[in-house]
Every structure is written in C-alpha cells, then in structure tokens.
Amino acid sequence: MNLTQLLTHIAVGTTITLLVSFLLRNVFPKLTRKTPGDFDDFVLRTLSESILPFGAVVVLLLIQSDLGLSNDVQRAYDVLLRIFGTVVIVRFANRVGIRFLQGVAHRSGDDLQQLFISLQPLIKALIWMIGALVLFQSLGVKLAAIWALLSAGGIGIGLALKDPAQELFAYLMILLDKPFTVGQFINVGSTWATVERIGVRSTHLRSLRGEIVVMNNSALTNSTILNFADMNTRRMIYSLGVTYSTTVDQMKAIPAMVEEVINAVDNTNFSRCHFTEFGDSSLNFELVYYIDTRDYTTALNAQQAINLGIMEAFAQQGIDFAFPSQTLYLEDETRSGKES
C-alpha cells in the first residue's frame, strides 16, 4: 500500500468534490435566478445534494488500486461502489426527470397533469429498472438470462394484472378522449349522476339521490354515455292524449293553449303542437319545446311548470286527458232472440 499516493488521491478527490459543491450551492444559483423558469434552479439544487455522495464514490474508486486488496475483496469492493454509484445516479435522474415531466404536464393542462400524477410511480419504476439493467451489464451479468427471466415472469404478472391493466388503459382512454370530465352531468344506462372523481381503476359519480356510484372505467368506456355538459338547450318532445269526447272547437284551441302555457315559463321556447293521430283510446297531440339551460334541476322545474300549466288550462276548458280504455257495445237480447 502506497500511503502517500493514497492520501494524495483522497485529498485531490475531496478537494474537487467540495469545490464543485461550493460552486453548485453558492455561485451557479446566482446565474440561474436570472432565468425566467425555475427548472434550472431545481437541477442545481438536486445536483448539489447528490455531488457529495457521488464524489465519495469517485474518491473510493481512485484509491481502489492503492488499498492492496485481494482479488475477492477487491471484486466485492468494486461491486459495492458500482451499486452505490448507480443508486446516486438513478435517484438524481428520477428527481430531475419527474420534475421536468411535471412541468410539461402543468403547462399542458389539468388532464395531462392528472395523467402524469397517475403514471408517476410507473415512470420511477421504469427508471430504476433501466438503472438496474445498466448495473448488471457493467458487472458482466448476461442479460439474455435476465430477459428470459423477465419474459417468464411477465407472462405470469400479465395474467395476474389483466383486470388492473384493463382498467388502467380505460382510464387513459377517458383522460385522452375526454367523454366526460369532473363536474359534468352524464347518463350511463340507468344512472344519472355528476362526475366527482376519475381514478385509475374506477370513477366516482354522485347520483341525483345523493349517493356515490362507483363504476369501473372499463364499464364506462364500453357503455353509451350521454353527456349533458355541452348541451346549451334541451329539446323536449312528447305526446298529449285527450278523450274522444273533446269537441272540434276544443281540439282547435289546444295548440294555442299549450303555446301560451309554455311561453309563460322562464327558460323555455315553444316550437310546435299538432294534432297527429287518432289513437285507440285518445286523440293525440305531439308537443315540442326547448329549455335553454344546462342545469338539470332548472330544466326539471320548467318541465314541471309546463305540465301543471297544461293540466290547469285543460281543466278550465273542460278537456279531459285520455287513458287506455275500451267501450263494449252489447246488442239488445230481445232483438237477438227474434233474429234467431
């Protein structure tokens, strides 16, 4: 062991490490503060936190040949230094890479930012995996065996994670395709609800009755979704049936009566009302009007006011609503006996 050379290497390595640390902590930040963004400040701060352990690895590498270690001990020493150095570099790459992607997602909008937050653990794991593969290659490990092991394990993991992976891809489809967003009112099957949270596995909906409805993302993407958020007006169309006892004059007056009722209600626009057909038990009118609001409660209030107004107007004019009924005409028994 050459003690002089050993101490020289330690002194030189320590001095360079401390000098670089001083520059990163006290000199370079003065230059980066003049730039508009803060990403370069973050990189310098992270690098200054990593330079001391990284410098220690470099110093230990410099004195490796001066220690006079045996082959087995020197190999173990080299492996430990490579592992420690890989950990330092991967941690630095993880922090800087995540911070960079976070800034890109933040500038791109809330949807991409939410996607990045969900994928952040996966990105970190991927960086660690790459670092581990580089470490194994530097240690002389045959990567073919590792790839074979990963392939065999990947099949089993893929089968075990089939459903979670399906939900993850459905979540990505929701974020990218945007069939709905948080706060919008949608209809899926028999569920009418407001979107409260979009998760990686499921979406939480608040129904009209107030309870939380949790639906798998794959179930949502495979269903027909009615989104009422971008609907500026609601077109209402339905039928009115009156009895056959309604007179012709009353039939002629019904469209004007309905129009007057609709025009008296806020947020509504009358379109048409026509006598369309002779039903089995009713004389049918088709009514069409528009409600110019996105708010579901306001629309229901307007529809209710119109329905009550029509009932009141018909009652004042003596017009009866029809309901399914049948009239039986029986022949006189005496007449039937004579004919027989």
CATH (domain of 246): 3.30.70.100
SS3 assignment, position 291: strand
DSSP 179-226: S--TT-EEEETTEEEEEEEE-SSEEEEEETTS-EEEEEHHHHHTS-EE
| Per-residue pLDDT tens digits for 296-335 | 788 889 999 999 999 999 999 999 998 876 666 666 555 4
Residue span of the structural domain in which 217 resides: 179-227
Q: What long-range pairs does 36-45 form, CB within 8 A, spacing at least 24?
A: 37/103, 39/99, 39/100, 39/103, 42/96, 42/99, 43/96, 43/99
Shared domain check, 77 and 221: no
Tell me if the pTM is above 0.75. no
CATH (domain of 215): 2.30.30.60
- The pLDDT value given to residue 338: 47
Shared domain check, 152 and 10: yes
Contact 267, 288 (CB under 8 A): no
Tell me the residue type at 176: L
Shared domain check, 251 and 222: no
pLDDT over 50 (residue 9): yes
Contacts of 261 (CB under 8 A, 6+ apart): 306, 309, 310, 313
Least reliable range by pLDDT among 25-39, 97-111, 294-308: 97-111
Average pLDDT rounded to a whole number, residues 92-99: 86
Contact 307, 314 (CB under 8 A): no
Q: Would you say residue 326 lies in a domain?
A: no
What is the three-state SS of 244-269?
CCCCHHHHHHHHHHHHHHHHCCCCEE
Quote the distance between the C-alpha of residue 254 and its chain's center: 49
The vertex-31 CA angle with 27 and 36, nearest 5°, equals 145
Q: Would you say residue 339 lies in a domain?
A: no
SS3 assignment, position 21: helix
> What is the pLDDT of the chain when averaged over all its residues?
81
Least reliable range by pLDDT among 1-15, 143-157, 197-211: 143-157
Q: Which of 220, 215, 213, 219 is nearest to 180 (CA)?
A: 220
Contact 251, 283 (CB under 8 A): yes
Shared domain check, 151 and 44: yes
pLDDT over 60 (residue 158): no
Residue that terminates a domain, selected from 109, 129, 160? 160
| Per-residue pLDDT tens digits for 257-269 | 999 999 999 989 9
SS3 assignment, position 44: helix
Least reliable range by pLDDT among 10-14, 66-70, 175-179: 66-70
More confident residue, 247 or 25: 247
Helix (H), strand (E) counts: the chain:
11, 8
Average pLDDT rounded to a whole number, residues 17-28: 82
Q: Would you say residue 118 lies in a domain?
A: yes
Q: Give the CA distances from residue 224 to residues 205, 214, 219, 298, in Å, rounded to whole numbers and listed in that order.
A: 16, 17, 10, 25
Q: Based on C-alpha coordinates, what's the Rg of the chain?
A: 38
